[in-house]
Structure 1
């Protein structure tokens, strides 16, 4: 069916408390989506972030980010007083997150809420602890020790803790039991609010698209507690790490530093660990974006001790087999494949064999040196998801004004018959909605016609990342009405043709 959605991180929602949360402003955005004829809300990963604040380098691939817990909801539940949250200056600028303020202030408030949870826990709390036991205890102990170690990565902890020796970890968990309890309670509050929001969204006809990172952060509970799932030696040290091969512009390549998944070992038990990750994520979300799908075809391995990626090598990924095993164990899931990057024939064949939709990025089209580019709109197929851009791209307005893009922008205007700059953003949006792709996703920044100041992430690291937020009043009736007109015009209101064209 033809449908549409908006990409907006939870962190980017408006809020008086410094960062978007899962409270009223999130429900207001759901209402906006419904009024605008949308079907999907795509978000970024919601795990707890560490140094750098990237949602793709979370401290756990299961836990939720406590920053996203809505404080007003805690007041409503009797766990906080209003004065305790209004007395803090949560932000310097209302359109950007200040993670330094959050780091210094948020947990002070959350600890008060945790302390006021009933000593005799309600059954739903007990049920949550039991249901999530497979990851929750490891995460809570990991965070308790990490905080006790002044935030150091686990690779710098005392040897017996670094190596996750049973007696040492058990003794430390007992010594830090109050902190372990706090971490468990934060996860209970997080998921209580998340599932309430998801229930609200689904009741309004809105589905949530989550995001499954390919790589796990090296400083995470997953790697510390379960090194057997990664390429680690007997001393719990990484042997090879993630990266990208050298090219003409970068002879040293890129050394990303994530531990590599031990695909050969996982294959022996039917990929149970990876499948459990997907199963957990598909409990959270209605659909799931599979990040860095390239890695399932092939991935680049860099010796961990090397200073750069020049001595790395390519390895074959698990291929379609891992998705077949997934379907056998947990059934078919609604997945979107992030098949961007190096578009090898191997990758294209894997996407086609998987039967899941890949991604098309409108900003990647209109290259003057490649008139028949894979990303040109006439190349799209029905079984795909079209985007204006991803979280790693500039906004449409920023893309247009970047002088390095002049040739591409000129060709874009000519191809789409856009005659004036003031019509550029909505001209491109209309082109996205008019493509043959089943699903069209646009960034909220583009609907608001914002410039590069609203860019979510710049992989080059030239600008601050993960900080942009909507201002209050962004989800207005005029915009939702305009968007709904586009949905009706381009049949994006869950329309299905009487005779669907054959999907490639």
Structure 2
């Protein structure tokens, strides 16, 4: 679908300020919505809300449907009486702005367990217990398997004494999901299953309240749907027939894995390691799993960015025993059949943004355009190669604003890019020279010049990472593809001040993107 002329900011909730070691869905999230309104912004784009995986990444989650326990705010649990007020001395361990996942994860999970214990001590006819029971029933299609997977994973991992025990090495009757074994496990681990359901109940309740708060103030939420899932996760364990498995002693490990060939980010490509889908099996049941996944995403967000869109046209298939992504091949994806299934389920106007970056072919563009999906334009990429081809040859780059059509989304950069200031300090001189000449500015002015160019372009949608709104350097980068232990960046409100909101609002007024303040 074609979106109206508007703009927004990219910021993952984990980057929000707050006293509990990581940004969450608490008071600071509402404060950020208020800031967006003051800055004239219509959109808040987040990264995947799923539980994080290896390297703290939300793109390799144990569930495509669950929300991250780390995003559950603790203040509402205290207010509800499920959690004791948190002493100031407990919070002293969370010094500095960056997320220390090694401290945050065990501490927060302990708080959630304490809250769950109090919650389930309430009478079953307590209004919140009744609401919880209704929630579990309504979300049973994904929640039952997710909660059981998490309970089994936790129990069997602890019993193994190993650093990691994949589900393919669980007792055979559980790995292969024999009905009697699953039924017995649900009884044996009932308390743990209830705990994981409680965490999701809290997440969904808090997210729904935040979304309503934003929508009431004219701000829409843009979610992020990773194309692939983690092999060691509830999705693959619960529906192994939908994946290309077959390796390992039990034949339950991936035979081929996902990634991308050598590109801008890596000379050896990126070997993500996710299992690949058996698209024939998914087509045979009408793409029911994908429709359920999209329905879940549209229940959480007003629009959805689909990550690695080109993988639906063709994806890079890597043999599972290859250590890099260099030995792979392009394999056709489901193409139009999947998106037609989406149209049949949700209507013609799919509120979807196609992340059409990387090795893009005519087939990828045709798939995007067949369903009128806006693609992405990344301003930083517009200047790549200027040192080789020269300015004149680069002037037609598809990411330069003067080449855009209206049905696209322009970004100064994504979560995988350096900040604009960091890019300006490290890019080859020829690229920076081209950028300076294109925008008519100095290196120091590039963050504001790129933001101005994005907002002033004909693209219907412009989204600016919050780091670029604040003009921050590369030390504030969110992620470096191929590296681990990223995703730790956070800001404090004392870093913001009044000028960024004024700057963004003024530009949105000038370029016809200003949000109307409802006064709510």
With the shorter chain as reference, the TM-score category is: over 0.9
Determine the C-alpha separation between the residues in 2 that align with 1:410 and 1:304.
43
Determine the C-alpha separation between the residues in 2 that align with 1:252 and 1:203.
47
Helix, strand or coil at the partner of 2:258: strand
Q: CA deviation at 1:398?
A: 0.3
Q: Map Cα deviations across residues 439-489 of structure 1 (whole Å, 9 max, x no partner).
A: 00000001111111110000141x741000011334544332221111101
Helix, strand or coil at the partner of 1:187: helix
Q: Map Cα deviations across residues 92-119 of structure 1 (whole Å, 9 max, x no partner).
A: 32x2100000122111111111111124
Tell me if 1:130 matches 2:152: no
Helix, strand or coil at the partner of 2:18: coil
Helix, strand or coil at the partner of 2:331: strand
Q: More displaced, 317-326 or 180-189?
A: 317-326
Instruction: State how 1:194-205 maps to structure 2 within 5 Å.
Output: 194-205=207-218
1:141 is aligned to 148
458, 461, 466: which one pairs with 1:444? 466
Q: CA deviation at 1:311?
A: 4.6
Structure 2: where are the runs of 5+ without partners?
A: 159-163
Helix, strand or coil at the partner of 1:82: coil
Q: More displaced, 115-124 or 431-440?
A: 115-124
Tell me if 1:335 matches 2:342: no
Tell me if 1:455 matches 2:477: yes
Determine the C-alpha separation between the residues in 1 that align with 2:179 and 2:417.
44
Instruction: State how 1:191-230 maps to structure 2 within 5 Å.
Output: 191-230=204-243
Helix, strand or coil at the partner of 2:24: coil
Q: Map Cα deviations across residues 326-358 of structure 1 (whole Å, 9 max, x no partner).
A: 111222321100000002222122222121100
Determine the C-alpha separation between the residues in 1 that align with 2:117 and 2:515.
46
Q: CA deviation at 1:170?
A: 2.5
Tell me if 1:488 matches 2:495: no
Helix, strand or coil at the partner of 1:52: helix
Helix, strand or coil at the partner of 2:55: coil
CA spacing shift, 1:85–1:192, aligned 2, 3 Å = farther
Tell me if 1:427 matches 2:449: yes
CA spacing shift, 1:371–1:440, aligned 2, 3 Å = same
Determine the C-alpha separation between the residues in 1 that align with 2:7 and 2:154.
42
1:291 is aligned to 307
Q: Map Cα deviations across residues 159-182 of structure 1 (whole Å, 9 max, x no partner).
A: 332222322232223222111111
Q: CA deviation at 1:494?
A: 5.9
Q: CA deviation at 1:253?
A: 5.1
TM-score norm. by structure 2 comes to: 0.90
1:502 is aligned to none
Determine the C-alpha separation between the residues in 2 that align with 1:292 and 1:105.
34
1:498 is aligned to none
Q: CA deviation at 1:312?
A: 2.8
Helix, strand or coil at the partner of 1:473: helix
Helix, strand or coil at the partner of 2:410: strand
Determine the C-alpha separation between the residues in 2 that align with 1:38 and 1:247.
33
Q: Map Cα deviations across residues 349-388 of structure 1 (whole Å, 9 max, x no partner).
A: 2222121100000001123123321111111110000000
CA spacing shift, 1:354–1:258, aligned 2, 3 Å = same
Instruction: State how 1:267-416 maps to structure 2 within 5 Å.
Output: 267-331=283-347, 332-367=349-384, 368=386, 369=389, 370-402=394-426, 404-416=427-439
Q: What is the count of residue pairs matched by the alignment?
A: 491
Determine the C-alpha separation between the residues in 2 that align with 1:432 and 1:250.
27
Q: CA deviation at 1:235?
A: 3.6
Instruction: State how 1:61-76 maps to structure 2 within 5 Å.
Output: 61-76=64-79
Contact preservation (8 Å) 1:240, 1:302: yes
1:43 is aligned to 46
Determine the C-alpha separation between the residues in 2 that align with 1:398 and 1:453.
8
Determine the C-alpha separation between the residues in 2 that align with 1:423 and 1:348.
33
Determine the C-alpha separation between the residues in 1 that align with 2:326 and 2:357.
22
Q: More displaced, 119-128 or 408-417?
A: 119-128
1:237 is aligned to 253
Contact preservation (8 Å) 1:92, 1:98: no
TM-score norm. by structure 1 comes to: 0.93
CA spacing shift, 1:489–1:66, aligned 2, 3 Å = same
Q: CA deviation at 1:406?
A: 2.0
Contact preservation (8 Å) 1:32, 1:476: no
Tell me if 1:256 matches 2:272: yes
1:111 is aligned to 113
Helix, strand or coil at the partner of 1:60: coil
Contact preservation (8 Å) 2:266, 2:482: no
Determine the C-alpha separation between the residues in 2 that align with 1:62 and 1:236.
22
CA spacing shift, 1:90–1:286, aligned 2, 3 Å = farther
Contact preservation (8 Å) 2:304, 2:352: yes
